[in-house]
Amino acid sequence: MYSDRVRGVYPGRFQPMHKGHLQVIRWALQNVDELIIVIGTAQESHTIANPFTAGERMVMIREALRESGIDLSRVYIVPVPDILLNAVWVHYLRLYVPSFRYGIARNPLVVRLFKEAGYEVLVPPPYDRERYSSTRIRRLMIQGDDTWRELVPPAVARVIDEIGGVERLREVTGRD
């Protein structure tokens, strides 16, 4: 039954999704029946910090999960635009996603917001954030350093190639 499922919500920008995100998703699915992956800042694209559209990020995530053998019937992928009001962010989030029991986050602000809204928080184990960082991956792309491909699931690299993501990022930074 719908209401019997234990759900967790995992927010992120996924600009782009990397192997660290995939580790968190695998861990989360060991702790909940269903996982809601929230694509934050859904309204923004074609910038240095947010080069990919919400739709492109949805495809990246879905293809990476499929390629990794994750049961897609246990996952929701929901884009959510920013509200820019931290105090009500979790309540706003609830308008976009199915009901959930847990917030899943390591970010101290996000953990605090979930707790203040009355939710339990599952804190995933740390992964190598120095290595697996979307900011670092975008920087490598801008510099023309193909080692970024080692940091993302192969499906994500394929989607980025298909949409001309590296070229887009280099153009918006003036590094074409």
For residue 53, CA distances in Å to 40, 46, 74, 80, 115 come to 11, 7, 24, 12, 29
Task: Give the total number of structural domains in the chain.
Answer: 1
127 pLDDT tier (thresholds 50, 70, 90): confident
Look up the CATH number of the domain holding residue 83: 3.40.50.620
175 pLDDT tier (thresholds 50, 70, 90): confident
Rounded Cα distance, 31 and 122, in Å: 9
- Phi and psi (nearest 5°) for 39? -90, 105
Full residue range of the structural domain in which residue 129 is found: 2-172
Rounded Cα distance, 34 and 51, in Å: 28
What is the structure's pLDDT at 1?
Answer: 52
30 pLDDT tier (thresholds 50, 70, 90): very high
Question: pTM, whole model, 2 decimals?
Answer: 0.95
- Phi and psi (nearest 5°) for 6? -90, 120
Rounded Cα distance, 7 and 32, in Å: 6
Could you read off the pLDDT of 37-95 as tens digits, one per residue? 999 999 999 999 999 999 999 999 999 999 999 999 999 999 999 998 999 999 999 99
Could you read off the pLDDT of 131-173 as tens digits, one per residue? 899 999 999 999 999 999 999 999 999 999 999 999 999 999 8
